[in-house]
Amino acid sequence: MKRFNKFFYGFIPGLIVPVAFMWVYLNRFYPIDLGFVDTIKQLYVNKMLGGVLMLSVVPNLLFTFVFYKTDSFKLATGVLLSGMFFFIGSIFLS
């Protein structure tokens, strides 16, 4: 595990996981059957995109907790820093 303890090994998945989680969440639980981009546009107009972005950061927080528990601090820092982009975006879109 120490071999993978690099900042970018946590940063890149930290950017991809929230988008994938948001895609799965919207496909599974959003009642209107639209494409992903059309759903995002509708959420933006309805001022609900901030809440969905905030929800999509939850997997990053779980990964950060697991990486800190396994003493992979650079991985956890990368995941946490990439999650901050989504967190800041959710504040501005709320």
45-68 per-position pLDDT tens digit: 988 999 999 999 999 999 999 999
Q: Helix, strand, or coil here: 70?
A: coil
pLDDT band at 1 (very low <50, low <70, confident <90, very high): low
30-42 per-position pLDDT tens digit: 888 888 999 999 9
Using an 8 Å Cβ cutoff, are 88 and 46 in contact?
no
The residue extents of the domains of the chain are: 19-93
- Six-digit token pair at 85? 């982009």
Among 26, 23, 14, 37, smallest CA distance to 87 is for: 14
Q: Helix, strand, or coil here: 1?
A: coil
% the chain with pLDDT above 70: 98
Among 2-6, 32-36, 44-48, 77-81, name the most confident range: 77-81
Query: pTM for the whole thing?
Result: 0.86
Among 79, 92, 93, 61, smallest CA distance to 7 is for: 79
